[in-house]
Structure formats: structure tokens, C-alpha cells
Amino acid sequence: MSTTDRAPVVIVGGGPAGSLLALLLHRAGIESVVLELRTREHVLERVRAGVIENGSADLLRSVGLGDRMDVEGLRHEGVNLAFRGQLLRIYFTGLTGRHVVVYGQTELQKDLYAAIDAAGVPLIDEAEDISVSGAETDSPTVSYLKNGVPRTIHCDFVVGCDGAHGITRDYVPAHRRVAYEREYPFGWVGVLSETPPVRHELIYANHERGFALCSMRNLHRSRYYVQGLAHDRVEDWPDQRFWEELKARLPEGPANDLVTGPSLEKLVTPLRSWVSEPMSHGRLFLAGDVAHVVPPTGAKGLNLAISDVFYLSEALSGFYSTGSGAGLEEYSTTALRRVWKAVRFSWWMTMMMHRFPGTSEDFDRKLQTAELEFLFSSESAQRSMAEQYTGLPF
């Protein structure tokens, strides 16, 4: 027994990108159905980015998602760079008039679920064996299993928001798809702890022993990272080793102020830059991590997903309101232009702040030193970093 349905837009993936796109389309009067492989609980358990760019925050507010973010989120008007025992604050607001908001992706996802539920947008979780047919035609279909029952949705457009391990990217023919990738020879060892942040703004540290990052989820819960080896395992980093290593990589002031505690969660994250082009094929469009992944150094992953779905919602709105497909035809080029700028910034931050093992280590270290000394001494360089960190315009 099978069931057939119809919807103008089918969105594969119910994370932030897919949920936000569904909400944007609803506000434009366009119906959609969201299919998510996992349960809602599983999606909410995923710990992800928490730095929201200025423009991303404005967009979220424009669709009614700003109330809790503005109350519970942390407004950051700057970020700190540590090098050779010194701490430099990049003052975003003074340099650009903008700021970022630290608001965990889990909290944003809760807000998105509440909003699409209130709007009556159908989100079908535990949708298994999702497949796409007819992307090259005017009437694609998406098939899946729900509780063992085969279902098919006929639609006008399919949007893949199903993440780095998603299936929708594979429906762009191999002969058209080009992947650009750079893997970094290290990973981040991350710890979540029920401790107050060491500073009220983030600290990125460049140290002889390797990179470190002091971040937070709220005023009582902190997120810390240290650079480890690419093949490290969580078991290689007991809490005592982690805290000792983090303290060693921080300037004296933050190191003395650091409050340690048992880790609530510990993970090792490999770093890579990766982009798949194009981000569309026929009536299939890709948004978010299914099309591009950046190292977390620049805090761009979630924000790129938000800009992608903004561009796509505008293009789909134009199609349904005027019949013009120009925006859809330009979507991949438009989105990739911003993607590559974010890839460059994330690469720059990663290259500047980490230790790179290998035969050119001494040369690379000299370049890092020159880059950081220039940044510490130049207001223009600091303004450039602030402009990119707080987010380029959509």
C-alpha cells in the first residue's frame, strides 16, 4: 500500500536550514513539506555552532524569531585574540557598528520548531529511505517510508537541506558536480562544562603548543577547544589533560581566571574546507552543509545555511509571484559567491591561529607571526576582520 501527496516545495532535512526555509516560504504564501530522517529529539540533541552574524540575527528577527534570542542570547561586540601572552580585542561595534549574538543552535532549533508548528507547516520526522526522482523535469517527486508505509510527494521543487552526510547532493549528476576540498592536519578537542565562561567574549589563542578557543553557550555553561592531532580519540583526552593543556595555551590573566569542572560532553572534530558546485540541478536546489562545509574557526557554518535559504526563499517567492525563474537560475552563482568569501575567511582564521606540522612548520610560523603582528598593530586590518566576522551582507 502506498500513499501519494502533493506540495509545491519539498524540503529534505529538518535542521535549521530546512526549518527556516519552510518558515520563510510560509510567510511568502508558499506551501512546503519538510522531511527529516531523524527524530526531533535527535535533531535538538546535536550540539552545533552558536555565533549568529549581525545579518543573520536581523533576518531571524524579521520572521518573529528574535524574542528569546534577544533575551537569552549574549550580545558580543568584540572578540579576543591571544598571542605571545597578549590579548587583543577586535572591537566589532567600534570598527563596523555591528555585533554578533551567541545563541546555541539547539535553542534556535527549538524556536524554529515552535514557529513552523504554529504556522501549520508539516514536518515529517523519521522519514526513511528518502529518494528524489525527476529533478530535471517540471514535476519531480520525493519518495520515502514512514512507519514502513511507502509515500510519494509530487512537487514543483525539491530543496536539499540534509547536511554534510545527506543524500540530495548525489542527485546532481557526477559529470556536473565538482568538489573542492582542503583537509587540515589536526582536529579540535572540545569540552562542554557547567562552568562560567572565562571571559564575556570569545578568546582565540595562537600558542606554541597549538590553538585554543574559549567560547560559551550561556553565562553558566562554557565551550572550550584545544588543537589536537587528526587521529586523536576522546579517550586520549581525560579532563585533567584537557584543562592543563587549555590553561597552558592562554595568557596569564584568563588562565588564572579559568574555572574547571567535569566535562558534560567531549568530542574530537576534524577540520576541513569543502565546497560542492553547482548548488542546483534542474528543479533541485541545495542549501547549507550538504553543499559546503567550513572549519568552525570563523563561525560561518550556520550563517551560510541562513544566507543560502534567504537567497532561495527570495528566488522561489519571485517564481510563484511573477512566474520568473531568473532568481532560481542565478541561485547557485549568487550563493556560491558568498560561500567562497566565507570559505576564504575561515581558511584565513585557521591558517593564522593553528600550528601546522610538517617540513614547512618554521616558515609557516614566521608567516603567522607577521600576520598577527600586523593585525595587532593595524586598525584597518582589525576592521577587515570585524567586517567579515560579523558577516558580509546577504
Domain ranges of the chain: 3-76+99-180+272-349, 183-271+355-390
Amino acid at 363: F
Q: Which of 207, 281, 300, 354 is catalytic?
A: 300
Whether 76 is catalytic: yes
The tens digit of pLDDT for each residue in 27-51 reads 999 999 999 999 999 998 876 668 9
Q: Do domains 3-76+99-180+272-349 and 183-271+355-390 have the same CATH topology?
A: no
Q: How many CB atoms lie within 10 A of CB 394?
A: 17
Any idea which residue has 508539516 for its cell? 122
Whether 296 is catalytic is: yes
Q: Are 223 and 188 in contact (CB under 8 A)?
A: no
Question: Is 204 considered catalytic here?
Answer: yes
Q: Hey, which residues does 263 pair with through a beta bridge?
A: 193
For residue 276, is pLDDT > 90? yes
The single residue of 103, 204, 224, 331 carrying the catalytic annotation is 204
C-alpha atoms less than 13 angstroms from C-alpha of 394 in its C-beta half-sphere: 20
User: What value does the mean pLDDT of the chain take?
Assistant: 96
HEC letters along 251-276: CHHHHHHCCCCCEEEEEEEEEEEEEE
Residues 192, 146: Cα–Cα separation, whole Å? 35
Our answer to whether residue 331 is catalytic in this structure is no
How many other CB atoms are there within 10 angstroms of residue 302's CB atom? Answer: 23
The arrangement of strands across the sheet holding 32-35 comes to: 123-124, 32-35, 9-12, 157-160, 284-286, 280-281
DSSP state of 324: -
pLDDT at 1 over 50: no
Which run of H or of E encompasses 11?
strand 9-12
Number of Cα atoms under 13 Å in the Cβ half of residue 131: 8
Instruction: Compute CA distances 10 → 43, 220, 258, 341, whole Å.
Output: 19, 39, 47, 29
Domain 183-271+355-390 grouped into CATH 3.40.50.1970: no
In terms of residues, how long is the chain?
394
Check: CB of residue 250 under 8 Å from CB of residue 212: yes
Whether the predicted pLDDT of 354 surpasses 50: yes
Provide the pLDDT for residue 2: 52
Express each pLDDT in 198-229 by its tens digit.
999 999 999 999 999 999 999 999 999 999 99
Degrees (nearest 5) of the Cα angle 51, 308, 382?
A: 45
Of the residues 184, 224, 225, 389, which is catalytic? 389
Average pLDDT over residues 180-187: 96
CATH topology of domain 3-76+99-180+272-349: FAD/NAD(P)-binding domain (3.50.50)
Q: Give the Cα separation of 218 and 200 in Å (integer).
A: 10
Neighbours of 225 (CB within 10 A): 23
- 244 Cβ contact list (under 8 Å, min separation 6): none
Q: Please count the CA atoms within 13 angstroms of the CA of 336 that sit on its side-chain side.
A: 18
**Whether pLDDT at 4 is above 80:** no
49-53, 124-128, 261-265, range with the lowest pLDDT: 49-53
Residue type, 213: L
> pLDDT band for position 358 (50/70/90)?
confident
What percent of the chain shows pLDDT beyond 70? Answer: 98
| CA distance linking residue 380 with residue 386, whole number of Å | 10
What is the model's pLDDT at position 47?
Answer: 65
Rounded Cα gap, residues 247 and 252, in angstroms: 8
End-to-end CA distance of the chain: 45
Confidence of residue 366 (pLDDT cuts 50, 70, 90): very high
C-alpha cell read off for 251 = 595568557
| Strands across the sheet containing 141-146 | 3-6, 149-154, 141-146, 128-133
Q: Which of 207, 296, 331, 354 is catalytic?
A: 296
The pLDDT of 295-322, averaged and rounded, is 97
